[in-house]
């Protein structure tokens, strides 16, 4: 497999067709980029003016207290005002907003008007439980329409949603509920994945035994299977939606641009997940314009992002970005391979999907089964493809381009993060493409690569990926932890945003992201912290200590390897190994289960007792650990 060290493919360039350029919102990247940097605030002002505001803002950017930037201050808006309200008075009223496909073959569709009414109804339900502006609501739902409805309903009334990915288990859910202090939880009886049922309500109940803060649980019926109901606390969604209180009309709360919209927990260096906070104004502007310019969404397009709404990609590019653009967005529950590995291509054909966005892991997984599966389907509706979550290997890029895009569709390899809210480095369809490169910075984004001393490195050299100007959709802080926000992202290079990735740039200015430089691992595109997995491992009674590393993996990008020190007098065995793995699955989530466990007698540590994961990694992949141990800070 090619590595990112061999930049021979830098010279492989895919030019856009004349038609693609002609149909693009942006036909000249360089000109607009130059303008967007030189006239940064003017650029963002022009974009923000394309949205609706209850009250126009006074100032585009308030940079008086870096790194706490404020955008569109003095403005009044609500993301729902732009994502739903403004469409229902136009020709989009009866246009499809959302097409949903369940894993069991059922389908549901919502027009803008029907989605608008559902959201209003559920917003009224939430209000009836006393949820008000500024309150947090935790949402633990699978990939079903109710997750979009719940998020939009919270936003509508000014409540802050905190979605916890439905693949996380009780332990992770509990931590996230406690940190957000949510009094209300929205969950489902279960979820379907790969033909199996995940018992979400059961997991939620377990999490709630240790989070007494939750007073109300709203349960969506997805599987219809019987679940335990605590009548003093639990209510079925469908029953609530039939009550008179669920009125289909409700005025959208007028929010300040800087009022919080959501918290989304993501993994960092320590075991405690970070609550990334996004706000109504800037996040609306950022997700709107990136969806529009990068995917070139038109009113006739059907757009499908195959992510899960529980992660940032789903928030920004299944729900908010496409809806603000008035697009038809497709949402699909379940696995790409179930019942057969052509499930996705069947869906593309069925709905005439024009824009398709997924992860390298998914493409690698599908590639395994060969091109006969996509070749069975008519994929001629596709115009633009996308990739996100991890670096895409050039050979995977070429396969995607050839067998899915039939050499017609440009691939938008979008680099961004939970923290950024929106794409930061990405091609636009009219930009020539290089496989393995995520293209160039988006408009208004001042990206660079620094060496250790904070100097920009020359072409071809690796370094720290940084962003030198603020952007509207950037996180505002880590929930209730401003210090950590400042320290994690803005302290290494003094008010310059440190992304946490290593990258290099070629002489044409194309960026190549090489991976994380901190203790975060991308496993199948999912973001996990090594410390988080270690904490889950040591909840097992036989374990004294553990250290986790990521190892390169052909399909998943990285796999998880755990080194485990057992308590005295505990015998090593394969059964114990399996038990530790399944315990991680139960506490943190199946995605965090180590692929490999090695029992060791001790772990290498610094003098102050910090585990030297890099030494373990070096040993594991057989490179000289000598230099590496000195890198480890004491």
The residues that touch ligand WTA, with contacts defined as CB under 6 A, are 266, 311-313, 388-391, 413-418, 438, 499-501, 513, 516, 522, 527
Burial class from Cβ neighbours inside 10 Å (0-12, 13-18, 19+) for residue 52 reads middle
Q: Smallest gap, in angstroms, from Cβ of residue 390 to ligand WTA? A: 5
Exposure string of 150-181, with b = 16+ CB inside 10 Å and e = fewer, is: bbbbbbbbbbbbbbbbbbbbbbbbbbbbbbbe
Beta-bridge partners for 192: 197
* Between 316 and 546, CB nearer to ligand WTA: 316
Q: Smallest gap, in angstroms, from Cβ of residue 313 to ligand WTA? A: 5
* Between 150 and 558, CB nearer to ligand WTA: 558
* Between 326 and 389, CB nearer to ligand WTA: 389
* Between 182 and 417, CB nearer to ligand WTA: 417
Q: Smallest gap, in angstroms, from Cβ of residue 400 to ligand WTA? A: 13
Q: Smallest gap, in angstroms, from Cβ of residue 497 to ligand WTA? A: 12
Q: What angle do CA 619, 625, 628 make, to 5 degrees?
A: 125
Q: Smallest gap, in angstroms, from Cβ of residue 510 to ligand WTA? A: 12
Of the chain, the end-to-end C-alpha distance in Å amounts to: 36
* Between 502 and 628, CB nearer to ligand WTA: 502
Q: What angle do CA 466, 470, 471 make, to 5 degrees?
A: 110
Q: Which residues contact 193 (CB under 8 A, 6 or more apart)?
A: 103, 142, 167, 334, 335
In this structure, are residues 589 and 532 in contact, taking their beta carbons and an 8 Å threshold?
A: no
Q: Smallest gap, in angstroms, from Cβ of residue 524 to ligand WTA? A: 11
Look-up of token digits 């990258």: 503
* Between 220 and 549, CB nearer to ligand WTA: 549
Beta-bridge partners for 542: none
DSSP annotation of 433 reads B
Q: Which residues contact 180 (CB under 8 A, 6 or more apart)?
A: 136, 138, 160, 162, 263, 275, 479
Q: How far apart are CA 56 and CA 569, in angstroms?
A: 69
Look-up of token digits 């000014």: 158
* Between 4 and 192, CB nearer to ligand WTA: 4
Q: How far apart are CA 172 and CA 138, in angstroms?
A: 12
Q: Smallest gap, in angstroms, from Cβ of residue 65 to ligand WTA? A: 25
CB neighbourhood size of 299 (10 A): 11
Q: Smallest gap, in angstroms, from Cβ of residue 217 to ligand WTA? A: 27
Beta-bridge partners for 503: 463, 513
* Between 10 and 413, CB nearer to ligand WTA: 413
User: Which residue's CB atom is positioned nearest to ligand WTA?
Assistant: 418
* Between 71 and 416, CB nearer to ligand WTA: 416
Q: Smallest gap, in angstroms, from Cβ of residue 200 to ligand WTA? A: 21
């Amino acid at each position: 497999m090619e590595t990112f060290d061999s930049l021979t493919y830098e010279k492989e360039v895919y030019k856009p067709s004349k038609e693609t350029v002609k149909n693009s919102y942006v036909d000249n990247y360089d000109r607009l980029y130059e303008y967007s940097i030189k006239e940064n605030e003017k650029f963002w002002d022009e974009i923000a003016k394309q949205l609706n505001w209850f009250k126009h803002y006074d100032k585009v950017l308030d940079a008086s207290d870096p790194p706490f930037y404020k955008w569109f201050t003095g403005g009044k808006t609500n993301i729902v005002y732009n994502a739903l309200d403004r469409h229902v008075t136009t020709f989009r009223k009866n246009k499809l907003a959302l097409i949903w496909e369940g894993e069991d073959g059922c389908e549901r569709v919502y027009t803008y008007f029907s989605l608008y009414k559902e959201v209003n109804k559920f917003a009224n339900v939430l209000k009836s439980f006393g949820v008000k502006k500024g309150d947090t609501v935790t949402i633990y739902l699978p990939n079903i329409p109710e997750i979009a409805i719940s998020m939009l309903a919270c936003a509508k009334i000014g409540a802050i949603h905190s979605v916890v990915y439905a693949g996380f288990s009780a332990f992770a859910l509990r931590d996230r509920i406690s940190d957000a202090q949510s009094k209300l939880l929205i969950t489902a009886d279960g979820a379907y994945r790969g033909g199996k049922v995940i018992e979400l309500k059961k997991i939620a109940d377990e999490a709630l035994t240790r989070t007494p803060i939750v007073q109300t649980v709203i349960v969506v019926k997805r599987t219809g299977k019987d679940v335990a109901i605590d009548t003093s606390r639990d209510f079925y969604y469908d029953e609530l939606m039939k009550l008179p209180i669920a009125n289909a009309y409700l005025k959208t709360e007028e929010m300040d641009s800087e009022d919080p919209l959501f918290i989304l927990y993501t993994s960092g260096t320590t075991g405690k997940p970070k609550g990334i906070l996004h706000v109504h104004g800037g996040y609306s502007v950022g997700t709107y314009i990136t969806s529009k310019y990068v995917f070139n969404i038109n009113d006739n397009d059907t757009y499908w992002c195959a992510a899960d709404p529980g992660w940032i990609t789903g928030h920004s590019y299944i729900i908010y970005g496409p809806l603000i653009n008035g697009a038809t967005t497709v949402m699909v529950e379940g696995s790409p391979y179930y019942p057969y590995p052509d499930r996705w291509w069947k869906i593309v054909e069925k709905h005439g999907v024009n824009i398709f966005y997924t992860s390298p892991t998914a493409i690698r997984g599908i590639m395994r089964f060969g091109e006969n599966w996509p070749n069975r389907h008519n994929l001629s509706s596709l115009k633009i493809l996308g990739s996100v979550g991890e670096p895409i290997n050039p050979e995977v890029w070429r396969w995607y381009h050839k067998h899915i895009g039939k050499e017609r569709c440009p691939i938008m390899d979008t680099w961004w993060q939970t923290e950024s809210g929106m794409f930061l480095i990405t091609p636009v369809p009219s930009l020539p493409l290089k496989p393995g490169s995520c293209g160039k910075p988006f408009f208004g984004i001042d990206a660079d690569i620094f060496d250790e001393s904070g100097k920009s490195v020359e072409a071809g050299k690796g370094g720290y990926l940084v962003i030198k100007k603020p952007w509207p959709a950037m996180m505002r802080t880590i929930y209730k932890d401003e210090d950590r926000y400042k320290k994690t992202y803005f302290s290494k290079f003094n008010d310059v945003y440190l992304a946490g990735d290593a990258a290099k740039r070629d002489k044409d200015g194309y960026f190549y992201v090489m991976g994380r430089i901190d203790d975060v691992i991308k496993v199948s595109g999912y973001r996990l912290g090594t410390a988080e997995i270690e904490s889950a491992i040591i909840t097992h009674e036989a374990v004294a200590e553990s250290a986790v590393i990521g190892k390169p993996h052909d399909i998943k990008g990285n796999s998880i390897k755990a080194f485990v020190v057992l308590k005295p007098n505990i015998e090593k065995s394969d059964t114990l190994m399996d038990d530790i793995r399944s315990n991680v699955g139960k506490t943190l989530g199946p995605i965090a289960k180590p692929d490999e466990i090695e029992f060791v007698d001790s772990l290498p540590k610094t003098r102050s007792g910090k585990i030297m994961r890099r030494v373990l990694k070096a040993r594991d992949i057989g490179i000289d650990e000598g230099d590496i141990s000195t890198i480890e800070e004491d």
